[in-house]
Amino acid sequence: MASNVMRVKLADEDLGVFDFQKMTVFDGIQLKAKSGLTIKQFVDGLSEMDAAALQALVWLLRTRQGAVTEVHAINFAIGDLSMEEEPDPTQGTSGSDAAATSVS
């Protein structure tokens, strides 16, 4: 995972911002219960572009938006997922430092 703060989009759907530093214990418990991934497996999996971690990321962000679904029911074309670095407010970086990453 290149950044702790990422804007995540799936095709035209803006899933919002994922900030690892703001991930809660409850998020971690739900992640483990629903996907079987520990927080470490999830974070490492995002760095490795692991399909289960990408699926869990989409599930987590949709859940935060109020969508209720099973993580294993989420399916998408890998190339439709993009993660764009957001400036870390604690680091004082400018928006010009952001980098876009497409999974495809």
Over the stretch 38-56, which tens digit does the pLDDT of each residue have? 999 999 999 999 999 999 9
27 and 18 Cβ atoms separated by less than 8 Å:
no
Q: Which domain holds residue 65?
A: 5-102
- Spatial separation of the C-alpha atoms in residues 18 and 85, rounded to whole Å: 10
User: Would you tell me the crossing angle of helices 51-64 and 39-47 to the nearest 10 degrees?
Assistant: 110
Q: How many domains does the chain have?
A: 1
pTM over 0.75: yes
CA atoms 63, 65, 96, 12: torsion sign: positive
Structure tokens, 58: 């989409």
Q: pLDDT value at position 99?
A: 47
pLDDT per residue as tens digits for the range 59-85: 999 999 999 889 999 999 999 999 999
